[in-house]
Amino acid sequence: MNIERQEIEKLATLARIAIDESTITEVAERLGSVLELVDQLQAADTSSLDGVSSGMQATQRLREDEVTEINQREALQATAPDTEEGLFLVPKVIE
């Protein structure tokens, strides 16, 4: 299955993964091979099923709306690449 170069660029933007120009053809080829595999699904007869099935019948558990987590800001921020005064630092967003 062929995927256009533009399609790969769009996916790279959506997934926030920078793809080097020189590898786009290779990436497209390998993605195409996987999509060819998953396209076998289209031939499956699913008419016996009602609408979209989740495959999982489990329902989500509910709990009381109570605070159960303790504040671990310092411990959790200790692993961050860059913090200041309890905040995560990123490059300036506003021009």
Q: Interface residues with other proteins (CB under 8 A)? A: 8, 11-12, 14-20, 27, 30-31, 33-42, 44, 46, 48-49, 52-56, 58, 60-61, 63, 72, 75-76, 78-82, 88, 90-93
Q: Do the beta carbons of residue 1 and residue 39 sit within 8 Å?
A: yes
The shares of helix, strand and coil residues in the chain, as percent rounded to the nearest 5, are: 40, 5, 55
Looking at beta carbons only, is 5 or 35 nearer to other proteins?
35
In one-letter notation, the amino acid at residue 21 is E
Task: Give the shortest CB-21-to-other proteins separation in angstroms.
Answer: 12
Bridge partners of 88, per DSSP, are: 83
Task: Give the shortest CB-34-to-other proteins separation in angstroms.
Answer: 6
